[in-house]
C-alpha cells in the first residue's frame, strides 16, 4: 500500500537553531513529494515539491527539503528557526492515481 | 495566497439543519477536493471532482454530498447536520495532471460546529 509517514507528532526547536521535520514515503513509480504548512485557523499553504532533478529542493520562507531515494525520505529543513515558523507541517506524496496521500502532520514549536 | 475562497468561515448550527458550504476558485483548475480535518489533526479526503459533472467519494465515508455544475464552484451539502459533523472543512483545487503541476491550493476553511 502507498503511504506517507511523519514519525514525529511534535518537534521542539530553540529559535536560531536548525530544524528538521521528518517524512518517509512508500509510493509506486517515481515519487512526487510535497510539503505544506498550516497556521492556526488557516488552510494549508504549499511550501515546496520534489518532482525530479536536484535532491535538495528550496521553497518558501527559507525552507528546503532533501530527497533521499535510498532512505525513501523527504525531510524538511531550515538552517535557522524563527518563532513564526511554529505551525503544523504536512508531508504528502502523489499516488498512482495522481491523488495526494497525506502524512498525519507534525507540530513544530519554536521556542524563543 | 491562492485564489480559492470558502464561505462561511465559521458556522454554528443546530442538529437537523441543512447546510451548504461554499467553495470557489478563480484559477480555472479542473480538479477540486473537500477534506475534513479535526483541529491539529490529519486530513481526510471526503469528496473530489475531476471537472464539471464529475464527483467522487474520498477515503473517509461522509454523509455529505457535492456537486460540480461549474468549473469554479464545488459546494458541499449536509442534508441533516449532527454533532458528529463538527469539524473543519477544507476545500482545495489543483491543475489537471497533464500540466505536471500537482500541488493543491487550499481555501481558508470552514469551521463547523453542530450543537
Per-residue pLDDT at B1 exceeds 80: no
Contact B31, B46 (CB under 8 A): no
Distance between CA atoms of residues B36 and B73, nearest Å: 18
Per-residue pLDDT at A23 exceeds 90: yes
Contact B89, B76 (CB under 8 A): yes
Beta A106-111 vs B65-66: how paired, if at all?
A: unpaired
Q: Closest CB to A102: pick one of B6, B43, B100.
A: B43
| Residue A34 to residue B107, Cβ atoms within 8 A | no
Q: Name the percent of chain A lying above pLDDT 70.
A: 100
Confidence tier at A53 by pLDDT (50, 70, 90)? confident
Handedness of CA B25, B37, A21, B32 (dihedral sign): negative
Instruction: State chain A's maximal CA–CA distance in angstroms.
Output: 43
How high does pLDDT run on average in chain B? 92
Mutant choice from A6, A27, A99, A103 vs B, greatest count of B C-beta within 10 A: A99
More confident residue, A7 or A96: A7
Q: How many residues in total does chain B contain?
A: 115
B65-86: average pLDDT = 96
Contact A60, A50 (CB under 8 A): no
**B11 grid coordinates:** 458556522
Amino acid B99: pLDDT:
64
Per-residue pLDDT at B88 exceeds 90: yes
The beta strand positions in chain B, using DSSP E, are: 4-7, 10-13, 19-25, 31-37, 44-49, 56-57, 65-66, 76-78, 87-94, 105-106, 110-114
Place of cell 449532527: B82
- In the three-class reduction of DSSP (H, G, I as helix; E, B as strand; rest coil), residue A84 is classed as helix
How many CB atoms are located within 10 Å of the residue A98 CB?
13
**Looking at beta carbons, which residues of chain A come within 8 Å of B90?**
43-44
| Residue A41 to residue B111, Cβ atoms within 8 A | yes
CB–CB contacts below 8 A, A to B: 48
Q: Which of B32, B5, B3, B9 is nearest to B88 (CA)?
A: B9
Is residue B8 reached through a cis peptide bond, with omega within 30 degrees of 0 on the bond before it? Answer: yes
Q: Name the percent of chain B lying above pLDDT 70.
A: 93
Amino acid at each position: 500500500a502507498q503511504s506517507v509517514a511523519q514519525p514525529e507528532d511534535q518537534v521542539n526547536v530553540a529559535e536560531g537553531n536548525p530544524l528538521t521535520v521528518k517524512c518517509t514515503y512508500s509510493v509506486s513509480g517515481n515519487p512526487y513529494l510535497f510539503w505544506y504548512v498550516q497556521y492556526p485557523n488557516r488552510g494549508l499553504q504549499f511550501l515546496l515539491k520534489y518532482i525530479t532533478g536536484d535532491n535538495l529542493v528550496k521553497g518558501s520562507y527559507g525552507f528546503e527539503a532533501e530527497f533521499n531515494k535510498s532512505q525513501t525520505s523527504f525531510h524538511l529543513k531550515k538552517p535557522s528557526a524563527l518563532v513564526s515558523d511554529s505551525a503544523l507541517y504536512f508531508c504528502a506524496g502523489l499516488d498512482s492515481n495522481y491523488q495526494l496521500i497525506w502524512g498525519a502532520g507534525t507540530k513544530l514549536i519554536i521556542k524563543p | 495566497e491562492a485564489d480559492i475562497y470558502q464561505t462561511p468561515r465559521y458556522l454554528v448550527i443546530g442538529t437537523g439543519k441543512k447546510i451548504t458550504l461554499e467553495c470557489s476558485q478563480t484559477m480555472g483548475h479542473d480538479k477540486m477536493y473537500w477534506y475534513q480535518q479535526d483541529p491539529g489533526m490529519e486530513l481526510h479526503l471526503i469528496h473530489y471532482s475531476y471537472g464539471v459533472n464529475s464527483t467522487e467519494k474520498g477515503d473517509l465515508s461522509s454523509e455529505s454530498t457535492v456537486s460540480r455544475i461549474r468549473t469554479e464552484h464545488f459546494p458541499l451539502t449536509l442534508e441533516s447536520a449532527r454533532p458528529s459533523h463538527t469539524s473543519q472543512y477544507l476545500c482545495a483545487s489543483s491543475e489537471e495532471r497533464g500540466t505536471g503541476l500537482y500541488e493543491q491550493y487550499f481555501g481558508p476553511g470552514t469551521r463547523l460546529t453542530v450543537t
